Amino acid sequence: MLADHILFIDAEAMVIDKPAGLPVGAVRDGSISLENHLDSLRFGFQRWPSAVHRLDRDTSGCLLLARNPKAHKRFAAAFEAGTVRKEYLAVVDGVPDGEEGVIDLPLAKVSSREAGWRMIGDAKGKRALTRWRRLASADGRSLIAFAPETGRTHQIRVHAASGLGLPIVGDPVYGAARAGSGRPGAGRAAMLLHAWRLAVPRAGKPAIEAEAPLPASFAAAGFGDVPA
């Protein structure tokens, strides 16, 4: 139950540790989504909480929910203004050159009838900036912390694959797993991308801060802990 995945809660906000494989929005295939769990996340309130932002279906970790419409509007404005701090962890195929850096690669959406849609690096696309640092490497893979300064669709996934040159392990679209299909556990490995930390400033109140523990899939890949 998602009620057991609460990382932060007060009268206007909640941060949950979203499991990989759970869509935030309703999906065409009829799979269970976040919406099916919202009633269990009311905790005495009449209204269901609402997701302020999105995480990809296969991405785990910190997801902010607002517990009333006014709070939702304020939090959405904070995301739009770029004042929300987000940090992700990912296991990538390979070891990067250097210990840290900045990926400045504009992104654009492309689509075709055969392959569907995806994001690509495109000088004419929307600005996208991601800071990264290597935390550990083992067996030809690396644990990378990504801090996006913009919020483009699939930004970290494309920046890892095309900007850093090292795709995220298990990525079905931009990585070596792209030939597979289905959800994690349904014939392919989980995508190792995790929304690790989230901090949302609030006027007159302490910031919303949450940190989601690494899922078991990271430990199975040899990265069970985040180096200090």
DSSP 8-state code for residue 168: B
Among 17, 56, 58, 93, the active-site one is 56
Q: Which residues are registered as beta bridge partners of 9?
A: 14
Q: Dihedrals φ, ψ of 41, to 5°?
A: -105, 15
Count of CB atoms situated within 10 Å of the CB of 131: 16
- Residue 204, CA distances (Å) to 74, 90, 180 in order: 13, 34, 48
Q: How far apart are CA 86 and CA 21, in angstroms?
A: 20
The sign of the dihedral angle between the CA atoms of 90, 95, 98, 101 is negative
Cα 224 to chain centroid distance, Å, stands at: 18
Q: Is 17 a catalytic residue?
A: no
Q: List all residues 6 or more positions away from 184 whose beta carbon is below 8 Å from its beta carbon.
A: 20, 21, 58, 170, 190, 191, 217
- Residues marked as catalytic: 56
